[in-house]
Each structure stands twice: as C-alpha cells, then as structure tokens.
Amino acid sequence: MTGQESLELISRMISGARKDYYETGVSSLLWGSIITICSLVTFTNYYLRWPGSGIRVVPDYCRRRSPDSHLHPGKKARGFKSHDEDLMSGIWISFGISMFILSWVMAYINVQFQPPIYMVVYGIPTFTVGYGRRFKPMVIGGIACWVLAICAIFAAFPYVMLYMAAAAQLAWFIPGLILRKRYLKAKAQKKMFKDLNPILHSQLRLAVISILISVKEAEFTYLREKTESTAGNLSVQINKLKEAGYIDVEKTFKDNYPQTVCKITPRACRPSKST
C-alpha cells in the first residue's frame, strides 16, 4: 500500500468513526423474517390443514405491526436526536396506525383478497424512507412491493402468500442484511480507531505514520506534499511523534540546504494504548 493510499484509508476511517453510524439493520431483519415466516406458514397450512385457528391469526397479527424503524440511528448510543430521525419515526408510526385501521376495516367489510392491498401499503413507507435516506436497496424494495401487488391480483390463494413473502424479503430482509453488514464494518473501524494510542488521534500525525510505514524514510518536503499540510503544523506534529518515540528525526545538510529526514521506529508498528 502506497503512502497516498494509506492516507486515503485513514481519512475514510476517521470520517466514518466521527459519523457514529448506528444503523444496525436488526429491525429490518426481524420484520422481514416475521412476515416471510407468517406468509409461508399460511401457504403451507392451506395444504396441510394444521389443527387450531392460531396459525391463521399469526399473519394477521404480523400485518398489523409496524417495523418501528429501519434506518434509525441508535438512540441509546447517541446524545442527540435529529429532525430527520423525527421524520422517520413519524413515517413508521403513521404506517403502524394505518395498518391497524386498514386491517380492522377490511375485516369489518369482509374483504376476501387482502394481500395485494397490504403490499401496496408496505411499499409506501419503505420507498419513502429509502428515498429520504438515499438507501437504494429499500427504494427498490418499495417498488418491488408495488409490482408484486399488481402481480398478486392475478394469483389465486394461497399462492398470493408467496408474493407476500417475496415482498418482505425484498423490502426488509435483504436491505436489513446490507445494513447489518455496514454496521458491523463501521463498528470494527470505530474499535480500531478507539484502540489507537491517543497520540495518533490526530489525523495529520496518523497520516505521517501511515506514509512512513510504506517507505524506508521520507524527507520533510515529501511528507508536507503528501499530507498537504503547512510546514509549521507538520513540524509541530513531527516533534510530538518524535517525543512519543514513534519516529526518528535526522537533520542534515544537502547541497548547503538543511534537510530533515524522518524514519519510523518499531514502536510505531504497534500503536495501541498499551504501548
């Protein structure tokens, strides 16, 4: 890895750590799993005729619950709440209320073919949240709900329940897997940043170390060019790294001009808090 590539990697790591990304994807995975299982149980029960009426109640109960939040930052780990978060909460609260009322109304007027209607409603908050957060998988999932709702009109029961299961997978389960993967990656990067020695919490000092790891030694002018910093600021940070024992600094003359050469020390190759 070149010095420039290392610098870019460090910049992305620090930027990601400062954003405090807490979108775990658990809610999407849970909601997508519940709807998928309920739909498949209803489909299977049509042929197996399992005893008891509870099997039929489960899908109806699941359809009345909202997924709460898909792209909500974790409130527990943060000390603030944004306007955007309030908007997302409002969308899912209104979705939950609408689903409850819709389920009651359709049961009251005895609507027999309910799944396509539910899929249309599923698509509204899913598409809105995905579009608002610029999260393409959920945008695609919302559109998929509408497309599957149209297709389900021409499907007989219980095959319409397979469309419900597909809608849950595309709208929530698959986006949840993507969110979970992003969350775990961001968490690992944050832990890596947290475990660094405080002397390296400065982006410029960390960049200098990164560049020196990839080369045998580097002149002051080379480091200034790669980090795009001022000579004064870079000089201060180099002195701090030298005092911490992370680099050796050799000052000589070349063609009657002063020259500063920096070399990394073994200690800098294990920059944890314990060093």
Question: Where exactly are the structural domains of the chain?
Answer: 19-192, 198-269
Q: What is the pLDDT of residue 199?
A: 65
pLDDT digits (tens, 9 = 90+) for 208-251: 888 888 887 889 989 999 888 899 999 999 998 888 888 899 98
Cα(163)–Cα(167) distance, rounded to whole angstroms?
A: 6
Q: What is the pLDDT of residue 155?
A: 92
Series of mean pLDDT values for 10-residue runs along the chain (275 residues): 50 46 73 90 83 43 45 47 67 83 86 87 91 90 96 92 94 92 77 60 81 85 90 90 88 82 78 48
Q: What is the pLDDT of residue 163?
A: 95
pLDDT digits (tens, 9 = 90+) for 161-177: 999 999 999 999 999 99
Cα(177)–Cα(131) distance, rounded to whole angstroms?
A: 18
149 residue type, one letter: A
| Per-residue CA distances from 4 to 129, 190, 196, 215, 270 (Å) | 37, 21, 20, 11, 20
Secondary structure element (H or E) that encloses residue 219, with its range? strand 218-219
Q: What is the pLDDT of residue 213?
A: 83
Q: What is the pLDDT of residue 183?
A: 84
Q: Which CATH number fits domain 198-269: 1.10.101.10, 1.10.10.10, 3.40.50.300, 2.120.10.30?
A: 1.10.10.10
What residues have CB less than 8 Å from 203, skipping those under 6 apart? 10, 11, 14
